[in-house]
Amino acid sequence: MFSLKDKIAVITGGGSGIGKAIATLFAKQGAIVHIMELNTDAARETVEEIQQEGGIAHHHFLNVTDQQAVINVFSKIEKIDILVNNAGIAHIGNIENTTEAEFDRIYNVNIKGAYNCLYAVIPLMNQHGKGVILNMSSIASHVGITDRFAYSMSKGAVFAMSLSIARDYLHHNIRCNSISPARVHTPFVDGFIAKNYPDNQAEVFEKLSKSQPIGRMAQPAEVATLALYLCSDEAGFITGCDYPIDGGFITLNN
């Protein structure tokens, strides 16, 4: 079950965190993985890890905010069975302390970046008569989270774009879904805590962990497992859906 043998999967932001976990798992399940990254060193390390385990992977330097660059890279791959729109950046602040420059940066990466990849991949999937798209949204697209104005805006857009793609390409044999994680324990989280709370890192980590009713953060591998299911043939009847993976945050956090 859940075999991706010989399927070609493009994963943006696949060099670290959730993207790396997805790339690694997809390769183990037989996919030919293409990692799109700004961080070439991280992408190369992930590719090497995959190859050491007997998988097939390639890395491409890509700025997802550059539409022509996205089109060029995707076109060289030619056939893409799976796109995982994972590249994204975070931001902390309410509307009063979110500058125009910060707002534009979040828009360009999280919204325009996802749009650029969708714009580039749909013609290729149409050409081959099928495809699967998975967009990385967030619980912030469902509930109000303090000091996440711009980030929530961007993930709400990703959620809405997922529904539009699912509807518009329902009869083109292209499925599109999204995942909405709560906090996931990635190197980004550790770096954020170390930078902003150097004197009480353990306390802050515990607090962030317990903000999920289940009492901990998700692991990247857990998100990757859900991604694998949604991109596999076993999920062939699923499209236009969002899947929270949140330790009960949305429904139990009251």
The catalytic residue positions are 151
Which DSSP string do the residues of 93-109 spell out, in sequence order? B-GGG--HHHHHHHIII
- Whether residues 51 and 90 fall in one domain: yes
Which domain range does residue 194 map to? 185-217
Mean pLDDT by 10 residues, the chain (254 residues): 96 96 98 97 97 98 98 96 96 94 97 98 97 97 92 97 98 98 89 85 90 93 98 98 95 79
Q: Which residue has the tokens 């190859």?
A: 51
User: In whole angstroms, how far apart are CA 200 and each of 25, 69, 191, 193, 211?
Assistant: 34, 42, 13, 9, 17
Q: Which pLDDT value is given to residue 254? A: 61
Q: Which pLDDT value is given to residue 190? A: 87
Q: Which pLDDT value is given to residue 78? A: 82
Q: Which residue has the tokens 């515990």?
A: 206
- Whether residues 167 and 75 fall in one domain: yes
Q: What single-letter amino acid sits at 9? A: A
- Whether residues 33 and 142 fall in one domain: yes
Separation between Cα atoms, residue 169 and residue 90, nearest integer Å: 30
Whether 252 is in a domain gets the answer: no
- Whether residues 121 and 207 fall in one domain: no
Number of domain units in the chain = 2
Separation between Cα atoms, residue 34 and residue 177, nearest integer Å: 20
User: Among residues 66, 64, 67, which one has the least CA distance to residue 10?
Assistant: 64
Q: How big is the CA angle at 209 (ends 208 and 210), to the nearest 5 degrees?
A: 95
Separation between Cα atoms, residue 250 and residue 120, nearest integer Å: 33
**Reported pTM:** 0.95
Whether 162 is in a domain gets the answer: yes
